[in-house]
Structure 1
Amino acid sequence: MLSSLVAMGYLVEEALTAMNNCVSNLNIAGSEAQLSELTDYICAAQMVKDFDAQLRESPDEEDSTSVMTSYSYTMPRNDYLPREKKRKLHKFQQFGRKCQKGKALPLTNKWWPLWDKRTKLNCLQTVIGSAKLTERIRNALENNEKYGDETPPHVQKLVLEQCRKWNLVWVGKNKVAPLEPDEIEMLLGFPRDHTRGGGISRTDRYKALGNSFQVDTVAYHLSVLKNQFPNGINLLSLFSGIGGAEVALHRLGIPLKNVVSVEIAEVNRNIIRSWWEQTNQRGQLIEIADVQQVSIERLDQWISSFGGFDLVIGGSPCNNLAGSNRVSRNGLDGKHSSMFYHYVRILDLVKTMMGRDR
């Protein structure tokens, strides 16, 4: 593990510190996912160190440019959605998206400084800003306050860069903190405590939520199906995550008759199953752990059993496409992102098999 980190360009001291602090989360084998956790830890530590160093610089030495991280998300086009060009989307009045921070997180307004002009949050991530980083920010702000001075522009800029990057919100005087899991659930449109309990750790909750789509956005796209399937829908959900598509259809009032949910993470499968039971779904939930297990024989069995699928939906992993991935950013040929090809394979099979039976 140490040699792998050093080969990636990290210092030996950084690697050893990360391994010592993360040892409780690692097993003997040391998988790629665990290596990713170590690199996340090192990157967070580097940012804290860099933040301290920049605070010590004078405003005259400050670089006037800033590098903003851009994020890109894609949802595979669904060939089972209606293609009526002029059809208006179903009215979506019941779901008001709380985009602005003042409405979504009203308790933060009291402490929000005037120089923090953010009105919306950045992309939600699978990791959060560390306690050490928030402590550095508090100390930087309080040190200037001791002398009765307003926060200097260069300190404001550095603080805002970290707040934007980690979605830090103001929870007290000079105090910022990461969003809590229940706040992220609310922002993403999931039911309260959707990811809570059942042996799921806070780390797992952040990871699951950070890999999810916004439910209201998904529901907006699927709202055209409401009038077409008043008696229920048969759903093939690939890479289900924590059930964003299932929750969206449920909120639209579309009964879930038969759902084949394909999700490799046991934590996510537990979350979906718990939601299914708590919402008293009357349909059938079929859980498959690995998308590679979705064979032509199984598809034929499901199609024969309940008459085919009305909707195929899914968002394949983008781990190997993410700009923050320094471990294995090798595109669709990567171990995780190559799963996209299984989405295409399965969709083509379903279309062919259902066309054959018509």
Structure 2
Amino acid sequence: MSEKDEKIKSLVDMGFSEDGANMAITRCGVDVDLWELVDSISAPQMTEDSHSRNISDHQVTDQCFDSFGGGKKARLMEESKKKRNRYGGRAQGNQPSLDGSHDEPMPLPNPMIGFNLPGYLQPSVTRILPKQDTGPPFFYYENVAQAPKGVWATISRFLYDIQPEFVDSKHLCATARKRGYIHNLPIENRSPLLPMPPKTIFEAFPHYKKWWPSWDLRTQLNCLRTNIASAKLTERIGRALASSDSPPARSVQKYVMNECRKGNLVWIGKNKVAPLEPEEMEYLLGFPKDHTRGLGITERYKSLGNTFQVDTVAYHLSVLKVMFPNGVNVLSLFTGIGGGEVALHRLGIHMKAVVSVEIGKANKRIFRGWWDQTQTGTLIEIDDVKSLTDDTIVSFVSRFGGFDLVIGGSPCNNLAGCNRYNRDGLEGEQSALFYHYFRILNAVKSAMARI
């Protein structure tokens, strides 16, 4: 298959027409990046309005530029090669890139506490969105914060140039989870889930304190991943400690601590470490006990490693409770095991209807089981974002009167730093599914504008 045919196939798989794909390649050339072709096809659907941005330490003002941040693609293609290189080849006309340069990563805040978090004193942040970017539908998009260079600038540009809110969940619970969130929710009058979750290892699991060595200074756990340390590794650690002095030599301590941090290992006996149990991960992530029970243990770890941290997401979504006292209609993309829905449930927000799009059979089984046990609303399940067509979206909008919330986080497989072999950014096979989130959200907004 030629490079042109491959790109046409990718665009068609994203839901664009074959004619539109051919026209984009004719306009832009076959050598441009896939996202530039998506930009070229999608630009005419977006608003032509431009709004000024004024960003300071005390104010964040987001804007929506025409054509995802400036002139149409055809106009960009007429510009000189020098100007295209200056802006990293992006269709942004005179707009400066969001992070100073497309070739540089968007700077992450330190501490990573977003626009505001409970218990943290910080300058008051005001966010003013253009009218056409406010909800409903409200939307909420999540992915890993430490993505390859340029990824968050591109995601932000596609999602109406709204600035990401970067949050590390360690500021809300006992485990780190560095994530970026782009949404059009209000940021004032948020409220956390109560009771607040424990913020240290010993608050969460006091029984581990008995065996915890004084030279292990960890108070919180690192990001929970989709896999765990092997039995061979924990045995090797045990042997290294057993053959060492007490306390162990600095070299042994360094080796053990490195493995404990990487694998989130905890002390369950003398010289004995082990990975967290699935039930402990559920607790740290804000899920009910036994939420993933019934899956094989490998599937449980995988599902939990890929989900939302519920307390963090609930803090952002809490503003919906006052806005929708009678409940919400939700379009849930990449639902997973239902982190967003569990957050809404724990907030006391009734879900009148949820259209859930999830391809994983194990995830679907867990989410359906939880829904049947806890919810009374309508659940409609769709297997794949690729099969959710614009016509189907129009029919759902007509049936439910629109969606109040479009929520989801596309796969991070090609974005996460732990992927050493296929960290291809938004061009990667899995992470390119972000463009379906954008396509579907755009279709929802268009359909709702007509009712």
Mapped pair 1:245 → 2:340: yes
Mapped pair 1:271 → 2:371: no
Instruction: Using structure 2 for the length normalisation, give the TM-score.
Output: 0.60
Counterpart in the other structure of 1:36: none
Aligned to 1:304, what secondary structure does the other structure show? Answer: helix
Aligned to 2:308, what secondary structure does the other structure show? Answer: coil
**For the residues of structure 1 that align with 2:193 and 2:376, how far apart are their CA atoms?**
26
Matches within 5 A, 1:305-324: 305-324=399-418
Superposition deviation, residue 328 in structure 1: 2.1
Counterpart in the other structure of 1:166: 263
Q: Which amino acid aligns with 1:186?
A: Y
Given the alignment, which residue of 327, 339, 355 partners 1:232? 327
Aligned to 2:414, what secondary structure does the other structure show? Answer: helix
Cα-to-partner distance string for 1:110-162 (whole Å, 9 max, x where unaligned):
000000000000011101001111111111111124xxx43111111110000
Identity %: 59
Superposition deviation, residue 76 in structure 1: 4.5
Counterpart in the other structure of 2:278: 181
**For the residues of structure 2 that align with 1:331 and 1:344, how far apart are their CA atoms?**
16
Q: Is the 8 A contact 1:78 1:313 kept in 2?
A: no
Superposition deviation, residue 351 in structure 1: 1.0
Q: Is the 8 A contact 2:337 2:363 kept in 1?
A: yes
**For the residues of structure 2 that align with 1:351 and 1:249, how far apart are their CA atoms?**
22
Counterpart in the other structure of 1:110: 210
Cα-to-partner distance string for 1:276-329 (whole Å, 9 max, x where unaligned):
0111x1110011110011111111111111100000111010101122223422
Cα-to-partner distance string for 1:189-213 (whole Å, 9 max, x where unaligned):
001000011xx21000000000011
Cα-to-partner distance string for 1:9-66 (whole Å, 9 max, x where unaligned):
xxxxxxxxxxxxxxxxxxxxxxxxxxxxxxxxxxxxxxxxxxxxxxxxxxxxxxxxxx
**For the residues of structure 1 that align with 2:183 and 2:397, how far apart are their CA atoms?**
18
Mapped pair 1:216 → 2:216: no
Given the alignment, which residue of 388, 398, 401 partners 1:304? 398
Matches within 5 A, 1:8-23: none
Given the alignment, which residue of 183, 198, 208 partners 1:78? 183
Superposition deviation, residue 182 in structure 1: 0.4
Counterpart in the other structure of 1:88: 189
Aligned to 2:220, what secondary structure does the other structure show? Answer: coil
Give me the CA root mean square deviation: 1.5
Given the alignment, which residue of 276, 285, 288 partners 2:379? 285
Counterpart in the other structure of 1:332: 426
Q: Which amino acid aligns with 1:166?
A: G
**For the residues of structure 2 that align with 1:140 and 1:75, how far apart are their CA atoms?**
39
Q: Is the 8 A contact 1:75 1:314 kept in 2?
A: no
1:93/1:218 Cα in 2 relative to 1: closer, same or farther (>3 Å)?
closer
Counterpart in the other structure of 1:346: 440
Aligned to 1:113, what secondary structure does the other structure show? Answer: coil
Q: Is the 8 A contact 2:352 2:378 kept in 1?
A: yes
**For the residues of structure 1 that align with 2:206 and 2:349, how far apart are their CA atoms?**
32
> Could you list the runs of 5+ residues in structure 2 that have no partner in the other structure?
1-144, 148-177
> Could you list the runs of 5+ residues in structure 1 that have no partner in the other structure?
1-69
Superposition deviation, residue 74 in structure 1: 3.8
Q: Is the 8 A contact 2:193 2:311 kept in 1?
A: no
1:139/1:181 Cα in 2 relative to 1: closer, same or farther (>3 Å)?
same
Moved over 6 A (4+): none
Cα-to-partner distance string for 1:261-285 (whole Å, 9 max, x where unaligned):
1111011011100000111x11100
Counterpart in the other structure of 1:131: 231
Q: Which amino acid aligns with 2:249?
A: P
**For the residues of structure 1 that align with 2:404 and 2:336, how far apart are their CA atoms?**
20
Instruction: Using structure 1 for the length normalisation, give the TM-score.
Output: 0.75
Q: Which amino acid aligns with 1:332?
A: L
1:322/1:334 Cα in 2 relative to 1: closer, same or farther (>3 Å)?
same
**For the residues of structure 2 that align with 1:142 and 1:354, how far apart are their CA atoms?**
65
Superposition deviation, residue 177 in structure 1: 0.2
Superposition deviation, residue 338 in structure 1: 0.3
Q: Which amino acid aligns with 2:281?
A: I
Cα-to-partner distance string for 1:162-191 (whole Å, 9 max, x where unaligned):
000000000001100000000000000001
Superposition deviation, residue 75 in structure 1: 4.3
Q: Is the 8 A contact 2:282 2:289 kept in 1?
A: yes
Matched residue pairs, number? 277
Counterpart in the other structure of 2:249: 152
Q: Which amino acid aligns with 1:117?
A: L
Q: Which amino acid aligns with 1:276?
A: W
Q: Is the 8 A contact 2:330 2:353 kept in 1?
A: yes
Q: Is the 8 A contact 2:193 2:347 kept in 1?
A: no
